[in-house]
Amino acid sequence: DTEVTQTPKHLVMGMTNKKSLKCEQHMGHRAMYWYKQKAKKPPELMFVYSYEKLSINESVPSRFSPECPNSSLLNLHLHALQPEDSALYLCASSGSNYGYTFGSGTRLTVV
Amino acid sequence: GEDVEQSLFLSVREGDSSVINCTYTDSSSTYLYWYKQEPGAGLQLLTYIFSNMDMKQDQRLTVLLNKKDKHLSLRIADTQTGDSAIYFCAERGLAPLVFGKGTRLSVIA
């Protein structure tokens, strides 16, 4: 299995909702990442987990809460989001080999 | 922080070669990558090059790396309409992956 699987593919949520984005990989990668991508912009790093511990938080607002339950799973919990948080949220993983493998993303719309 | 720069747009005719350029600032870069993103889709790793190489060829794709000038290029031979997409240059050093702003490639039939 050489994929990163993200669910759901699309999500519409209200500003008072609580939702979660999920990411799964079975490549044995020990680093996992959340990136946020706005339209026509490059992906921006949000969080990095290394060996299931949060190693980088790029000053992301607390309404985004990451969680890494085990080495294969990465979640992003969302609460009280703003319309400007609407974006494509990409999960990635990397191992000791060369590259980052990205999932196809969750397109989030906050209404 | 580290920076990766790319030109924003490139337009080529079908069948011609496309060359997308990228410059970066991180002296500790170990790997450099080219990702492709089609509209509404995630990122697809096209190819990569290790920093001690100066060229890598993979079918229609040729990557050239000038480490002294910190310049990376991607050449796509016989460009097809299916190659229309945004191409992101990215580098990995001591820090996680840093992306350029992306080059939008338009292929004219």
| pLDDT one-digit tens code per residue, A90-105 | 999 998 766 789 999 9
Contact B84, B106 (CB under 8 A): yes
DSSP A72: T
| pLDDT one-digit tens code per residue, A18-53 | 999 999 999 999 999 999 999 989 999 999 999 999
pLDDT band at A88 (very low <50, low <70, confident <90, very high): very high
- Cβ-defined contact of B45 to A92 (cutoff 8 Å): no
Which residue is listed with tokens 């001690």?
Answer: B52
Given a cut of 70, is residue B45 above it in pLDDT? yes
Q: Which residue of A has its CA nearest to B41?
A: A104
Beta bridge partners of A22: A7, A75
Beta bridge partners of B75: B19, B62
Selected residue with higher pLDDT from A58 and B63: B63
Average pLDDT over residues A2-17: 94
Q: What CA–CA distance (Å, rounded) separates B72 from B49? A: 9
- Cβ-defined contact of B88 to A48 (cutoff 8 Å): no
Chain A contact set for B48 (CB, 8 A)? 98-99
Structure tokens of B20?
Answer: 């997308």
Q: Which residue of A has its CA nearest to B91?
A: A99
User: How many angstroms separate the CA of residue B89 from the nearest CA in chain A?
Assistant: 10
Contact B14, B80 (CB under 8 A): yes
User: What's residue A77's pLDDT?
Assistant: 98
Query: Which residue from B43, B96, B100 is facing A45, i.e. has the nearest CB?
Result: B96
Structure tokens of A16?
Answer: 């008072």
Handedness of CA B88, B33, A36, A93 (dihedral sign): positive
